[in-house]
Amino acid sequence: MSLFRKLDLELPNLLRLFKHCDKWLIVINADPDALASAMALRRIMSHRVDEAVIAHVNEVRRPDNRAMIRRLRIPLTRLTPTLAAGFNRLAMVDSQPHHHPEFAPYHFSVVIDHHPLEENASWRADYRDIRPGYGAVSTMMTEYLHNLKVRPGMLLATALLYGIKTDTKSFERPFIDADIRAFRHLAAKANMLLLSKIARVEMDKAWLPVIAAALGRLSPLSRRGYAAHLGEVDSPDILVILADFCLHVDAVSWAVISGVWQGRAVVVFRGDGLSLDMGVLAKESFGALGPAGGHATMARAEFDLNAMPRRSLEDFVCERLEACPGKPVRPQKRPR
């Protein structure tokens, strides 16, 4: 039995498109699976085309994704019409042309993806391989490399492994046998220490002083509830990290961390679910101002700063929370 599916029929159709005179732009909505798949396609194109460049449409915010790009040395450029004008062929991996408004102006010659194909999607490609059963496009690209007898180097193997790991949520989400086979195949070539370092990254170094200051300001709101206000933050993820961190302390049953992000107040709630329902607390404290709610253990509220009375957000959040008396947990299904 072969390790991977055979691509004898598909490969000639794909390789036929790669000409030495062509400049290829590989367009992605950057996440680990897209980044790794683009890296693999670029590897396949190398020596076959004049140039292959990876371009992304989204701002890469997640610290682990940024760590992946830096540590696995993935060259990446922001997609702009000016950039695209310098290329005569476009490819796309881990997305389809109708998935993002910035894809719309372009014709993609190659589309390789694992998202379901929508019947009314009107786009055409010279070569398309859509396999919705696959847990990750990284698996499909591993099959392409294997069929082409291209041995992925350590950085590429590590990237593909991380692509499969994140898209299948370490095999907690739907996957097929091919995903497992690709994972095992790549594991022998990847650097597992590098992989676990990237997977572990949750924060930027610049967040540390913010987090240290916030921990110093953490103050009790009730016997087991704590709150801190951070002011302007780079990313709401800082609030989540801090709130999660607080629950590692035995004395803390629930924590509310607030900050301002892009002109809006963001309030993150985390609780152990034993004493107070975070979803109820969020909704009752801030529901009148904007979207607010969640589950017993995690919730969130967001509102426009103009929606609150003129005073500091910190005072306002504390006042609202204090006005909410400690409620017993009321477990109930609460769609977000």
Helical residues (DSSP H) of the chain, grouped into ranges: 10-15, 32-45, 63-71, 81-85, 137-147, 154-167, 177-187, 192-200, 208-217, 237-246, 278-286, 313-323
Residue-by-residue DSSP string for 93-154:
ESS-TTS-GGGTT---SEEEE-SPPPTT-----SEEEE-TT-S-HHHHHHHHHHHTTPPP-H
Decide whether 115 or 264 has the Cβ nearer to Mn ion. 115
Instruction: Pull the structure tokens for residue 246.
Output: 């607080």
Residue 129, interface with Mn ion (CB under 5 A)? no
Quote the DSSP letter at residue 161. H
CB contact at 8 A, 243 and 216: no
Question: Could you give the CA distance from residue 301 to residue 291 in angstroms, rounded to a whole number?
Answer: 6
Decide whether 94 or 129 has the Cβ nearer to Mn ion. 94
- Which strands, in side-by-side order, build the sheet including 110-113? 77-78, 51-56, 23-28, 89-93, 110-113, 127-130
Residue 167, interface with Mn ion (CB under 5 A)? yes
CB of 116 to Mn ion, least distance (A): 12
Nearest to 279 by CA among 216, 211, 335, 207: 335
Decide whether 100 or 264 has the Cβ nearer to Mn ion. 100
Residue 94, interface with Mn ion (CB under 5 A)? yes
Q: Which stretch binds Mn ion (CB under 5 A): 93-101, 144-152, 222-230, 233-241?
A: 93-101
Q: Which stretch binds Mn ion (CB under 5 A): 15-23, 87-95, 189-197, 236-244?
A: 87-95
CB of 139 to Mn ion, least distance (A): 9
Decide whether 55 or 136 has the Cβ nearer to Mn ion. 136
For Mn ion (CB under 5 A), the number of binding residues is: 3
Decide whether 33 or 143 has the Cβ nearer to Mn ion. 33
The residue length of the chain stands at 336
CB of 41 to Mn ion, least distance (A): 14
CB of 152 to Mn ion, least distance (A): 18
Decide whether 86 or 116 has the Cβ nearer to Mn ion. 116
Q: Which stretch binds Mn ion (CB under 5 A): 10-18, 77-85, 86-94, 196-204?
A: 86-94
Quote the DSSP letter at residue 312. -
Among the listed residues 17, 30, 33, 52, the single contact to Mn ion using CB under 5 A: 33
List residues binding Mn ion (CB under 5 A).
33, 94, 167
